[in-house]
Amino acid sequence: MAELFTVSYNVKRSLLRGFAISGITILTYLLIMIITTPNLHPPAAVNTAFSKLAYHLWYIY
């Protein structure tokens, strides 16, 4: 039974890379939103970025 739950090194490495790339993508998206919306203060730009992202994810799927 324990053999079903062992995860290989390649799977662990792939998951780690996926999480790392996801984090970098989210940080890049936030940075672009903050830089390209100069009329908003940074906290307001972050709030807007997350609300737009949630809106797009909600209506795409």
Which domain does 47 fall in, by range? 27-61
Question: 12 in a domain, yes or no?
Answer: no
pLDDT of residue 56: 65
Better-scored residue on pLDDT, 10 or 37? 10
Q: What is the pLDDT of residue 13?
A: 95
Q: Is the pLDDT of residue 8 over 70?
A: yes
Give the integer Cα–Cα distance in Å for 35 and 51.
Answer: 17
- How many domains does the chain fold into? 1
Average of pLDDT values for 25-44?
A: 85
Residue 55 lies in a domain: yes
Q: Does residue 34 lie in a domain region?
A: yes
Q: What is the predicted pLDDT for the residue at 59?
A: 67
- Report yes or no on 17 lying in a domain: no
